[in-house]
Amino acid sequence: MKTVMENLEPQSLWRHFEALSAIPRASEKEAAARSYVLAQAARLGLESSRDGVGNIVIRKPARPGREGAVMAVLQGHLDMVCEKNEGTDHDFDTDPIRLVRDGDWLKAGGTTLGADNGVGVAAALAVMESVDCAHGPLEFLFTIDEESGLTGAAQFPGGLLQAKYFLNLDGEEEGTLCIGCAGGLNTVARRKVASRAALSGEAWRIKVAGLQGGHSGIDINKGRGNAVRILGRVLQTLLGGMPLSIAAINGGSKRNAIPREASATIVIELAHQQEMELLVATVEAAVQSDLGAFDPGLRITLESAARPEQVWADGEAIELAGLLASQHHGVLAMSPDIAGLVQTSTNLAIVSTKEDEVVIETSQRSPIESSKLAAGRMVSTIFHMARFAVEHSGGYPGWKPEPASDLVRLCQTVHQEVLGTVPELVAMHAGLECGVIGEKYPGMQLISFGPHIVDVHSPSERLKISSVAPFWAFLTGLLERL
CB 114 within 8 A of CB 33: no
Neighbour count for residue 158 (Cβ, 10 Å): 10
Contact 80, 116 (CB under 8 A): yes
Q: Comparing C-alpha atoms, which of 390, 347, 190, 351 is closest to residue 265?
A: 351
- Rounded to whole angstroms, the maximal C-alpha distance in the chain is 84
Note the helical H segments in 1-64.
Answer: 11-21, 31-44
User: Of the residues 146, 219, 361, 461, which is catalytic?
Assistant: 146
Between CA 24 and CA 33 the distance in angstroms is 8
Instruction: Select which of 30, 79, 147, 316 is catalytic.
Output: 79
Q: How far apart are CA 125 and CA 366, in angstroms?
A: 32
Beta-bridged to residue 74, according to DSSP, are 140, 167
Cα–Cα distance, 177 to 432 (Å, whole number) = 13
Q: Are 74 and 139 in contact (CB under 8 A)?
A: yes
Q: Are strands 424-428 and 176-181 parallel, antiparallel or unpaired?
A: parallel
Q: Residues near 20 by Cβ (< 8 Å), separated by ≥ 6?
A: 33, 36, 114, 118, 121, 122
Angle between helices 468-481 and 406-419 (to 10 degrees): 130
Q: Judge whether 79 counts as a catalytic residue.
A: yes
List, in order, residues 6 or more apart from 470 with CB less than 8 Å away: 174, 419, 451
Residues carrying an active site annotation = 79, 146
